[in-house]
Structure 1
């Protein structure tokens, strides 16, 4: 049998690609082993089990998404930062549906604390500085943004908007405009 040069990084990247192709929930060590033409047991020198593989894919996806959002938001504030953040999030979900699904995989508190999820929260809070929200409204707003973005891209990916007018892009633009208005007036209570 030919050596395929398995490494943890190579397996996780291949698993992430597989997740985009067949779905995160279908990504398993046995399917990954088939793709590499090796026995499943060969993977266990690099990943502990199916759960470990999924955690590693989730961590990779969170890192990729944080990098993309950070790059998109650089030098922007207020409405421009909101749109950049939201569009980067949506684009990543469209381009990498399996990886995006992985970003919601449950992590232990230790895994979450060491993940790029911390960067996501920090970027959301940086975005909100442009709206002058103080606690506890800032935390509420972080949760609102995450809920709206995740909900919209999830429904869009499932085809939830494909059977009616207007186009989902028009709705996305309207939603971002509404969020901007809400965030600008939330702190004043008007």
Structure 2
């Protein structure tokens, strides 16, 4: 029997909230059942198991992050767009650490192609059009931005910047300025 009010969407959202509270690695169907005060078996009419739950949370987080980034990018171009993208990404990771971890879950190619990962790539490429990069430089730049943003956020989340007197926000601004400078110089070099 299906418990009234439980849906895959409600369970996914609750799983995302749980991930932010206890960490994405700790999210299981059992933990979610405890949250709803139901037996684990009652959730299997909505979920196939913990992997299905984690995949749903990952897709939810990717969509949520893509919506946030799209709103931040509206009407912006060049360095302003780059900074808005970077800030939206970092702010999401800081506000929703479990969801951010979920968004890093390795998805099978079919699931990834149907999810918001494509939107993230398209938005990054839209920013890069302002720098007039052609292929393969544009693909390299997409990978570089993702690597830099994820690396910074991961180090910051792990407390990697707490031992220095320099404010992490100051370093973040320096990183974004440096990326803008690099991307503009690549564009200028290619046009010569």
Bigger Cα displacement from structure 2, 74-83 vs 158-167: 158-167
Query: Which deviations, in whole Å up to 9, do the C-alpha atoms of 1:51-98 show, x marking residues without a partner?
Result: 000000000000000000000000100000000000000000000000
- TM-score normalised according to structure 1 size: 0.97
1:133 and 1:186 in contact (8 A); partners too? yes
1:44 counterpart = 2:44: yes
Matched residue, 1:6:
6
Matched residue, 1:139:
139
Structure 1 runs (4+) greater than 4 angstroms displaced: none
TM-superposed deviation, 1:165: 1.9
* Alignment of structure 1 residues 89-168 onto 2, 5 Å: 89-168=89-168
1:33 and 1:40 in contact (8 A); partners too? yes
Matched residue, 1:55:
55
1:15 and 1:27 in contact (8 A); partners too? yes
Query: Which deviations, in whole Å up to 9, do the C-alpha atoms of 1:133-167 show, x marking residues without a partner?
Result: 00000000000000000010111011111111201
User: C-alpha distance in 1, partners of 2:189/2:129?
Assistant: 17
TM-superposed deviation, 1:4: 5.2
SS in 1 for 2:6: coil
SS in 2 for 1:131: coil
Gaps of 5+ in 1: none
Query: Which deviations, in whole Å up to 9, do the C-alpha atoms of 1:8-41 show, x marking residues without a partner?
Result: 0110000000000000000110000001001111
- TM-score normalised according to structure 2 size: 0.96
TM-superposed deviation, 1:189: 2.6
Gaps of 5+ in 2: none
User: C-alpha distance in 2, partners of 1:66/1:187?
Assistant: 26
User: C-alpha distance in 2, partners of 1:164/1:74?
Assistant: 35
1:78 and 1:130 in contact (8 A); partners too? yes
TM-superposed deviation, 1:187: 2.3
How many equivalent pairs are there? 188
